[in-house]
Amino acid sequence: MSLLVALLQSFLLMIWPTMAAPSKVSSMAKPGCNETCGNITVLHPFGLDQPNCYRDEHYSLTCNYTFNPPKLFLGSLEVLEISSLGHLRINNYMSFDCYKSSGKNSKSFSYWVDLMNWPYTFSATHNRFTAIGCDTQAYIIGSSGRNFTSGCSMLCSDLGSVVNGSCSGIGCCQTSIPRGFKRFDLQLYSYYNHIYVRSFSNCSYAFLVDSNWYNFSVSDLPGYDFYDKYKGRIPMVLDWAIENHWCPNASTTDSKYACGNNSECFDSPNGLGYLCNCSKGYQGNPYLEDGCQDINECEDPNNNPCEGICTNTPGGYTCSCPHGKKGDGRKDGTGCSVTQFPVLQVTLEYRPDQTELMHRWSVVGGGSNFGPLAGIEVGLRLDQIGLAQGYTV
Ligand X SMILES: *[C@@H]1O[C@H](CO)[C@@H](O)[C@H](O)[C@H]1NC(C)=O
> Rule CB under 6 A: which residues touch ligand X?
32-34, 39-40, 49-50, 62, 64, 66, 81, 85, 98, 100-101, 106, 143, 147, 164-165, 198, 202-203, 213, 215, 217-219, 223-224, 246, 248-249, 261, 266, 277, 280, 289-290
Instruction: Judge contact between 46 and 29, C-beta under 8 A.
Output: no
| Cα 372 to Cα 262, 297, 366, 375, distances in angstroms | 55, 40, 15, 7
Residue whose CB is less far from ligand X, 184 or 361? 184
Least spacing, CB of residue 369 vs ligand X, in Å: 47
Kindly tell me which of 153 and 164 has the beta carbon lying closer to ligand X: 164
Q: What is the rounded CA–CA span in Å between residue 384 and residue 252?
A: 57
| CB 330, min distance to ligand X, A | 19
Give the nearest distance from C-beta 139 to ligand X in angstroms.
14
Q: What does residue 7 show for φ and ψ, rounded to 5 degrees?
A: -65, -45
Q: Which is nearer to ligand X, 223 or 305 (CB)?
A: 223
Contacts of 278-281 spanning 24+ positions with Cβ under 8 A: 279/315, 280/315, 280/316, 281/314, 281/315, 281/316
Closest approach of Cβ 261 to ligand X, in Å? 4
Do residues 210 and 80 touch, judged by C-beta distance below 8 A? no
Please identify, using beta-carbon distances, which residue of 298 and 336 lies nearer to ligand X. 298
Radius of gyration over alpha carbons of the chain, in Å? 32
Whichever of 245 and 381 has its CB closer to ligand X, that residue is 245
Half-sphere exposure for 223 (CA within 13 Å, toward CB) = 5
Q: How far is the CB of 271 from ligand X (least distance, A)?
A: 10
| Beta pairing partners, 208 | 129
Find the angle CA(241)-CA(242)-CA(245) to the nearest 5 degrees: 115
State which residue, 163 or 358, has the beta carbon closest to ligand X: 163
Q: How far is the CB of 246 from ligand X (least distance, A)?
A: 4
Q: Judged by CB, which is closer to ligand X: 9, or 143? A: 143
Q: Are strands 77-83 and 71-74 parallel, antiparallel or unpaired?
A: antiparallel
Rounded to the nearest whole angstrom, what is the least distance from the CB of residue 84 to ligand X in the complex?
9
Q: In angstroms, what CA-CA distances link 253 with 45, 260, 268, 282, 291?
A: 18, 11, 20, 22, 18
Least separation in angstroms between residue 152's CB and ligand X is: 20
Per DSSP, the three-state class of 36 is: strand
Which residue's CB is nearer to ligand X, number 195 or number 385?
195
How many helices (H) and strands (E) are present in the chain, helices listed first? 3, 28
C-alpha 332/C-alpha 319 separation (Å) is 11
> Cα separation of 314 and 282, whole Å?
8
